[in-house]
A and B are shown apart, each in its own frame.
Chain A
Amino acid sequence: MTTGVNTVGLYVRDQDEALSFYVEKLGFIVHTDVRNGDYRWLTVQHPDQPSFQLGLFKPGPPVHDIATAQTLHEVVAKGAMPPLVLLVDNCRAAYERMCENGVEFTQEPMERYGSVDAGFRDPSGNGWKMIEVAPKPQPGSSK
């Protein structure tokens, strides 16, 4: 049995918009999408990572008062939320594919420090770094 971090949430401007971005443009799958009154618990996950859920949460009542929700919306839209990192097998191929899907890239793939990375934002303003998985160390070599 594996234990570890199960869910981490992002604040998004609009849950339908976020859902279509993460599912249709990035290839995530829906894990949970349930409502309780006006409240909607929405999580997605990467198809290769079944033990982890990414929550797509909208700031607002009943969790936040109106003023706090407005502040959170502003902070997200200013791109001030903490960094997010997506690992991919091939950064340039993923970039091509995602560009075709209309993902807004802030940085084209660049090779740095022996790896390739690119940057994009989700529609709400959350910034992602997309990093190519480093090649596996050769058997017998120390890391």
Chain B
Amino acid sequence: MRQSPELLRRLLRSKDRMDGAPHEDWPIKRLAHVSAVSVAHFSREFKKAFGTPPHRYLLTRRIERATALLRDTDLPITDIALQTGWNSIGTFGRIFKDITGDSPGEFRERESSISHVQREIPECVMRAANRPNLKIAVSEKRRIQSVGKLGVQSD
């Protein structure tokens, strides 16, 4: 089934809003409102359009933000967790490790031992390129457990 460009353009709007503020809560109702469609319609059509359910897409943005903050700043890990939308440092640490394979502390330590050349790639493109690919089974399993904590439901 094809999707109309008009609908896709409206779905893109909610994706843009998550991109712009991944630390905010994005309950499905809010996203559906941005796209001006019903809640049930939204989840189904978003996944069809972008290949990933909205809450999982949001998770990739949050992990990408967290890895960037761990790499580029000296902020305490607790602050990074809060700034990237988690309510609990424990949840953040667990999901971060599930997805990246490292705890936030290990990730920071490893990254700080690598020298990063001055980036010639635009920052917005790097953000997209650095997003984790959440297609693997372990994160899928974890995702189901973490859905409630992200404040987004799939239906």
A residues touching B (Cβ–Cβ < 8 Å)? Answer: 13, 70, 73-74, 76-79, 83, 85, 104, 106-107, 112-113, 117, 119, 121, 124-125, 129
Contacts and interface: CB of A to CB of B under 8 A. Distances in A.
B82 interface: no
Chain A contact residues: helix, strand, loop or mixed: mixed
A106 B22 CA distance: 13
Nearest to B10: A77
Which bracket fits the contact residues of B? Answer: 20 to 34
Contacts, number: 47
Contacts of A106: 16, 19-20
- Counting chain A CB atoms within 10 Å of each CB, which of B2, B9, B122, B125 scores highest? B9
B5 interface: yes
Contacts of A74: 2-3, 5, 8
A112 B125 CA distance: 14
Interface of B: 2-3, 5-6, 8-9, 11-13, 15-16, 19-20, 49-50, 119, 122-125
A85 B119 CA distance: 17
Given A74-B5, A77-B6, A78-B49, A83 B12 contact: no
Listed residue (A74, A77, A117, A119) with the most chain B CB atoms within 10 angstroms of its CB: A77
A11 to B, nearest CB: 10
26 contacts: A13-B9, A70-B2, A73-B5, A74-B2, A74-B5, A74-B8, A77-B9, A78-B11, A78-B12, A78-B50, A79-B12, A79-B15, A79-B16, A83-B125, A106-B19, A106-B20, A107-B20, A113-B119, A117-B123, A117-B124, A121-B12, A121-B16, A124-B9, A125-B8, A125-B9, A129-B122
B122 A76 contact: no
Nearest to B128: A83
